[in-house]
Amino acid sequence: MSRARAQSAPCAQFRYLLACDLEQVPTARRAVRRFLTEQGLHEEEISACELALVEACNNAIQNVREEGSSRPVEITVLCTSSKVEMSVNDHTPGFDWPDEITLPELESERGRGLFFIQSFMDVANYLRGKDQNSLIMHKMRCHQEHRHTAGAASLHELQQRLEDTQQVVSDMARELCFRTESLCAIFRCSTQLARSNDLGEFARQLLADLLHITAADWYVLRIVPENGRDLVRFAMSSDVEVPEIMPLSHAGRNIPIEVQAALRRREMLFGPRQPLSPSDPLAGVGASVMGVTQPLIANDEVLGTLTAGKKNWTTPFSPPQAKVIQTFADFLAIQIVSARLCEEHVRNRLLAHDLELARNIQRSLLPKSLPQLRDFGVAGFCESAREVGGDFFDVLQLSDNSLLLVVADVMGKGVPAALFAAILHSLIRALPEWTQKPSELLARINWHMYQDLSAVDMFATAQVALVNSKKNQMTVASAGHCPVLVVQNASTHVTSISPEGMPLGILPTTRFVDEVFELRPPCRVLLYTDGLTDAPERASTTDRAAWSAANPVLPSQERLQDWLLGSLSRERSAAQLRDELASELARGRGEGQLRDDQTFLIVSENDSLDAENG
Amino acid sequence: MKLIDKGDVLTVTEVKELGANNSDAFRDEVKAVLPNGFRTIEIDLSQTSFIDSCGLGALIAIYKYATGQNGSVAVRLLNPLPPVQQIFELTRLHRMFEIVRRDPA
């Protein structure tokens, strides 16, 4: 596992890859000691360096979690004539370097490692990064012993040193190249993405660059769709054949390596030492295939996998190349999240647009102006709880002396409710022959709408009132709707007219009843939907009385009746009454959002100057 | 490492290194033989070229075990080399352990 190279002064470098195993620490320590001895360090300096190094390595190994344990601890020692610089790169979750490091109690068995590092080193910096942290330690050299001088060195030695130095510079340049190329590729492809917003094309270009940078032959990018159940092929090299969909619910043995990476949320290597199972789809890429699968993770969610590999395992990925693959996987994960957010934003905007359209259609169903009778004025109000609701009202003039008033409530809210409201509205106008008889009108409407409503388990309630000013009478029929409220002629109570009838869409044929009522001015008639009097949906029936008592502002059924009774003593037109009741409702609602549609029609005796807009 | 039974005294010798890789085994081995009626443990550090914080932890554990419950077993450290001696002084553990310099018997 070790890879060591030593050079002579003036700047010698030594690297060692330490397997994540405490048993290996003494070997690493002895290797570093040998290197420092060769550099002519004093014994005291060597002892100090080896102790600090061992403490750093112990920490790196003892605190590692499973996902980092397969990766080595990287030790680098640089030695110049004036100082020794040691860096230990670990793959632990990292920790906060304390501001002040003090000795523990004498009897404590732990907690002296950082104290040693601080005591024996002149500088110690702990840098935390993603999946990797670096502890960098400096020891200034006090006892300088220049064993090698240029004058004393032979030509051969000088040549050897020059070659070594060139090798170091070339290694560093190569690593710098990887980093630069990765950055360039990321910037280039991001600019492209911003222009086209095509994630597929973006991924293909980025991964073509990845192959170039890492000298890989092939790649496969898979994405977990929003159902979260599969790994779906998103992009791949043209000469690779792999199945399009792989379920994430694999169980038992021979789980494909890509599925393993997604389920275990860590990189999976394959090659001569970890061969793929013969049934793995990637085994078909080549007989001696090697590579790495990285999970794409963002916000703790697995979004897919990126596999890059070589068809021939004679040249494995170098650590910088493996790092580049990981960087690209991380970057792709961020782009996928960003693309999904963008899609959702567009979807929401489309939905909002649809609702706005439906609202406009529904608004257009409400009459622009209401017909009036000579002795009676009519005013209407309709407020939807969401962008579109299932409430509506309509007023049809049947003759000089008669008006047909309709208030209906389709169960539910939103687009479906509004669509049925539109159908109901059209049917009333399409059946003029039945308008003289409210019960028959409802029966016909039910017959026409039953199939459509019951198919989607919906229903509607409706109330139809025929007002005849010549006969001073009103005929009311109801399809499961709340009662019509009437007060008249200095009466001291409100009459509640509630003829029998099932809601529309429950049974294919239903009988409705006409109830005839005499209207003696002055009088008030109120047709409304239950949104005016209902307690919040969460309140159960038994809670409603308590709820009403605790919320005196919102009208309960009784309060609505009181308001109507009180209105009789005031001389008000229908429009004025409508405005009064509407502001009562607004007051009851307060700042809160409307829970249910609120719709009403109010009739008041008056002179016909009260021509009114709905 | 070697354990020598000298009647009242248990001598631990040939400890080359005391680090995270072997300190647990060292501690457990010494603790295992301790109940055999010894009155003193002498740990010979004259060959110990390296000790780290885990090695110190093992020595402290042995000390606590030996002096803790019955308080009857004395712990002595023999002839530590200068770098190890320096570590004891730096951590002030030379105040806890009895450190003895004498020629090997």
Tell me which of A280, A307, A342 is where a domain ends: A342
CATH of B2-100, one of 2.60.40.1170, 3.30.110.30, 3.40.50.300, 3.30.750.24: 3.30.750.24
Collect all residues of chain A within an 8 Å Cβ-Cβ radius of residue B83. 44, 47
The reply to whether A100 touches chain B by the CB within 8 Å rule is: no
Range of the domain at A136: 12-147
Q: What are phi and psi of A305, to 5 degrees?
A: -140, 150
Shared-domain flag, residues A116 and A188: no
Instruction: Show the low-confidence residues of chain A (pLDDT under 70).
Output: 1-10, 143-153, 193-197, 251, 361, 386-389, 412-414, 490, 534-555, 590-593, 606-614
A439: DSSP letter: H
State the residue for tokens 């030509």.
A155
Question: Complex ipTM, two decimals?
Answer: 0.95
The CATH number assigned to the domain holding A328 equals 3.30.450.40
Shared-domain flag, residues A192 and A124: no
Interchain pair B92, A103: CB under 8 A:
yes
Q: Report d(CA A446, CA A461) in Å as an integer.
A: 10
Contacts of residue A305, Cβ cutoff 8 Å, sequence gap at least 6: A220, A221, A222, A231, A258, A261, A262, A293, A294, A295, A296
The CATH number assigned to the domain holding A130 equals 3.30.565.10
Nearest to A506 by CA among A460, A448, A441: A460
SS3 A416: helix
**A5 occurs within a structural domain:** no
Interchain pair B20, A54: CB under 8 A:
yes
**What is residue A384's predicted lDDT score, i.e. its pLDDT?**
76
Gyration radius of chain A over CA positions: 41
Q: Which helix (H) or strand (E) holds A343?
A: helix A319-365
Shared-domain flag, residues A272 and A414: no
Shared-domain flag, residues A320 and A447: no
Interchain pair B60, A23: CB under 8 A:
no
Collect all residues of chain A within an 8 Å Cβ-Cβ radius of residue B55. none
State the residue for tokens 């002579």.
A8
Q: Report d(CA B105, CA A341) in Å as an integer.
A: 79
Whether A327 and A319 have beta carbons less than 8 Å apart is answered as no
SS3 A190: helix
Tell me which of A274, A307, A342 is where a domain ends: A342
The model's pTM is 0.44
Q: Report d(CA A294, CA A325) in Å as an integer.
A: 8
**A158 occurs within a structural domain:** no
Shared-domain flag, residues A211 and A332: yes
The reply to whether B95 touches chain A by the CB within 8 Å rule is: yes
Kindly give the pairing relationship between strand A133-140 and strand A123-128: antiparallel
The reply to whether B18 touches chain A by the CB within 8 Å rule is: no
CA–CA min distance B36, chain A (Å): 24
**A425 occurs within a structural domain:** yes
**A282 occurs within a structural domain:** yes
Interchain pair A50, B64: CB under 8 A:
no
**A354 occurs within a structural domain:** no
Shared-domain flag, residues A186 and A245: yes
Nearest to A55 by CA among B53, B83, B55: B53
Probe site for chain A from B54, B92, B93 (most A CB atoms < 10 A):
B54
Shared-domain flag, residues A323 and A256: yes
Shared-domain flag, residues A207 and A248: yes
**A130 occurs within a structural domain:** yes
**What is residue A274's predicted lDDT score, i.e. its pLDDT?**
84
Shared-domain flag, residues A218 and A131: no
The CATH number assigned to the domain holding A463 equals 3.60.40.10
Of A26, A58, A106, the CB nearest to B92: A106
Alpha carbon distance, N-terminus to C-terminus of chain A: 85
**What is residue A4's predicted lDDT score, i.e. its pLDDT?**
42
**What is residue A547's predicted lDDT score, i.e. its pLDDT?**
44
CA–CA min distance A269, chain B (Å): 28
Is the pLDDT at B4 greater than 80, yes or no?
yes
Whether B96 and A107 have beta carbons less than 8 Å apart is answered as yes
**What is residue A187's predicted lDDT score, i.e. its pLDDT?**
73
Interchain pair B91, A103: CB under 8 A:
yes
- Taking only residues 111 to 140 of chain A, the set having a beta carbon closer than 8 angstroms to any beta carbon of chain B reads 111-113, 115-116, 119
Whether A421 and A599 have beta carbons less than 8 Å apart is answered as no
Of A25, A47, A103, the CB nearest to B19: A25
Interchain pair B60, A112: CB under 8 A:
no
**A161 occurs within a structural domain:** no
Q: Where are the domains of chain B?
A: 2-100
* Cα angle A322, A324, A330; round to 5: 110
* Joined tokens for residue A371: 């017909």
Shared-domain flag, residues A115 and A224: no
**A193 occurs within a structural domain:** yes
SS3 A491: coil
Shared-domain flag, residues A327 and A384: no
Shared-domain flag, residues A489 and A605: yes
Collect all residues of chain A within an 8 Å Cβ-Cβ radius of residue B58. 109
CA–CA min distance B50, chain A (Å): 8
**What is residue A423's predicted lDDT score, i.e. its pLDDT?**
87
**What is residue A590's predicted lDDT score, i.e. its pLDDT?**
66
- Quote the number of domains for chain A: 3
SS3 A136: strand
